[in-house]
Amino acid sequence: MTASSSHPAAHTSAEQSGPDLSGVRIALIGAGNMGGAVARAFLSAGVAAENLQIVNSTSASSERAAAELGATAASRSEALEGADVVVLGVKPYQVLDLLSAIRDSLPAGAVVISLAAGVTIAAMEAALPAGMPVERAMPNTPIAVGEGAVGLMRGTSVEDAQHALVHALFARAGVAVDIAEEQVHAFIGAAGSLPAFTYLIIEAMTDEAVRLGLKRDLAASLIQQTVRGAATVLSETGAHPAAAKNAVSSPGGTTVQGLAAMERAGVRAGVAGAMAAAADHSRQMAGD
Ligand SMILES: NC(=O)c1ccc[n+]([C@@H]2O[C@H](COP(=O)([O-])OP(=O)(O)OC[C@H]3O[C@@H](n4cnc5c(N)ncnc54)[C@H](OP(=O)(O)O)[C@@H]3O)[C@@H](O)[C@H]2O)c1
């Protein structure tokens, strides 16, 4: 597994963290929640606004998304002409039809990157002319703020330089790792869907802090800071979570009382169940 990781705070400019991407032309077909997050990561990596061409289902929607993202709206044919990279951010059920519709307009050598869950590289390669480079990227939405994770799956016709370009595009997303396609279901449980699970836990903690008497804005900032801080302790010290937990558990103290309540409520099983459900659904979507 190879990884590229760059924290936004660790670099003062995109140029310092990788190649100059200002001349790379991107056609982004489908700039919704995930496509929009990918657009922000690519802009942060140094792609020029005029070279990030947005195509949604109507020109009004393309204009709206482009204005919000700081990119450029285009028609599908305008965006595809001269594109180095074509990103598919539409819903999974649309991907193969879209590939059939654009296969004759794809510039030679353009790399197609699909964000879709459940649509395999083999299915996409079969929908395209032989030898077309295809990758899958499985991102999560925190890539929009440089704190996400993306799993990259390389198709059979992708050259090393093309794969390096895909890594460079995601270099400011947080962490970008190469994964085997069969790992994508686990990746969805452990990263793709995980922000939503974390939001639910943070919401529950915030609601309870309000019930305990804190004002909501104070409760929200305390809990976000504490969740961020706990993750940073683990990543910076390399401590095992159990060791970090035991280190703050005094005999008979407040923390052990709370931890025992969490175990009795089945929090561990609930979290594992959520991740397994996401991975299982991904497997079903792919027909695996
Ligand atoms: N959301 C996540 O956390 C997440 C995580 C990993 C992967 N993904 C993958 O990301 C993909 C998109 O999911 P999403 O949640 O971002 O969906 P979404 O917010 O509904 O975005 C879909 C986008 O596709 C556009 N679109 C629809 N039909 C189109 C067409 N014929 N031509 C061009 N654009 C078209 C929509 O434009 P209009 O608004 O104009 O209709 C919209 O911008 C899915 O394949 C999903 O599996 C999502």
Q: What pLDDT is stored for residue 17 in this prediction?
A: 58
Domain housing 64 = 3-180
Q: Do 167 and 205 belong to one domain?
A: no
Give the closest residue (by CA) to ligand 1 atom 9: 116
Residue 243 has pLDDT above 50, yes or no: yes
The strand pairing partners of 23, in sequence order, are none
Q: Do 29 and 127 belong to one domain?
A: yes
**Residue 263 sits in a domain of what CATH number?**
1.10.3730.10
Total structural domains within the chain? 2
Is 30:90 a contact under the CB 8 Å cutoff? yes
Q: Do 18 and 57 belong to one domain?
A: yes
Decide: 116 in ligand 1 pocket, CB within 6 A.
yes
Tell me the per-residue pLDDT of 26-74, one tens digit each, with 9 for 90 and over: 999 999 999 999 999 999 999 999 999 999 999 999 999 999 999 999 9
Domain boundary among 180, 214, 241: 180
Which of 58, 59, 91, 193 best tests ligand 1's pocket when mutated (most atoms within 8 Å of CB)? 91
Q: Which pLDDT band holds residue 256 (cuts at 50, 70, 90)?
A: very high
Q: Do 149 and 238 belong to one domain?
A: no
Q: How far is the CA of 114 from the centre of ligand 1 (A)?
A: 11
Domain boundary among 180, 208, 228: 180
Residue 196 has pLDDT above 70, yes or no: yes
The reply to whether 61 falls in a domain is yes
DSSP 116-168: -TT--HHHHHHHS-TT--EEEEEE-GGGGGT-EEEEEEE-TT--HHHHHHHHH
Mean pLDDT over the full length of the chain = 93
